[in-house]
A and B are shown apart, each in its own frame.
Chain A
């Protein structure tokens, strides 16, 4: 009972974080927001936080990040507080990872950056349940699917839905031919490439990629790679977005969670490397080129994860 309680809370936290990252990443690669945040007046930072509570409360009243969110305004306010805190922590974490906040950054400049960058993350947390949710996807594919039901159910109902979905997926997969299973893998990786391109295409030509990559050392790049893998695994296989339970039982090459995550990341990295070359026109010096590909690979991988959820 206790294990379920903490596990469910962990999953809801991962869903909230995933929604925040999906929504907030494009704003994160915008140099102007770093400057605006760092030079903003403390009074304006407080106003931003207070103003955020309004849309977050409304979003958590209607959508939010909890499967079993309550129907009272007090629940919506509590979830809005959590959404804001998660958004702030996520924003701070990613800014530290990208070295836009370091030990030499003055505290007030760091807080300003975190507050302004967190706007997208917080709103993403607020709509996490709506992002790529199972019922909408399932509705378009199969109206009779258990996932087609409104997911605003109690947790007991959710576990029942998952069990049914898993069972259906397994039986469907067992009946599949080898070409169909290969096609499933190709479809996943194609969706990863498309999602990666959609998200990173608008970021690739900007100076931010070069700026961030220039400040990266090899160990930091390895951290970016690791975080990219963990985040995309969480979005696709932990956050309980659309069709996750079915993904756990897909058969075919690269169709277990770890292999699929690695393969999809390589596809996203390849996409970002191609885009960096497209807009820079050269790969020399190679270390700098690789650094830019890895830096752009972070949003690309997140876009790829979103793309895989849609197929």
Chain B
């Protein structure tokens, strides 16, 4: 038995080929050239009072092309010679991906010195 695709079926096939070519092209573009190692960085983007606490908003960004896993972020607030620390862990951070995080402190970070930094990560 022979079969011949009608115009509708041929159109569907053409669109399907275009979709696949687009996907393969996007994937292939990542294969060309070196892929930089993961570089998680943090940036404080805002501090706001919420009830009796202070919420410190940060953005964790992977400036590298490769993924990072188990990214650990620490925030140290130094007030009156006392350091209050808080940590968070992000399971997976893809290349160029960024996530919003929030640390919560009982004291106003404006009254002391706040440092937020990445303490470590794994390369999956």
Contact = CB atoms under 8 A, between A and B. Distances in A.
Interface of A: 5-6, 8-9, 13, 35, 38-39, 42-43, 45-46, 49, 68-72, 75, 78, 81-82, 84-86, 88-89, 104-109, 111-112, 114-115
Given A42-B31, A89-B19, 9 more contacts: A9-B6, A39-B94, A39-B124, A49-B23, A49-B27, A81-B13, A85-B20, A88-B20, A104-B98
A106 B94 contact: yes
Contacts of A49: 20, 23-24, 27
19 contacts: A38-B67, A38-B92, A38-B97, A39-B92, A42-B31, A49-B20, A49-B24, A68-B3, A70-B1, A72-B3, A78-B13, A81-B13, A89-B19, A106-B94, A106-B95, A107-B26, A108-B27, A111-B27, A115-B23
B97 A109 contact: yes
A237 B6 CA distance: 25
B8 A9 contact: yes
Contacts of A8: 8
Nearest to B11: A9
Determine chain A's interface SS by DSSP, over half rule.
Answer: helix
Given A42-B28, A46-B28, A5 B95 contact: no
A269 to B, nearest CB: 31
Interface in B83-102: 91-92, 94-98
A273 B111 CA distance: 47
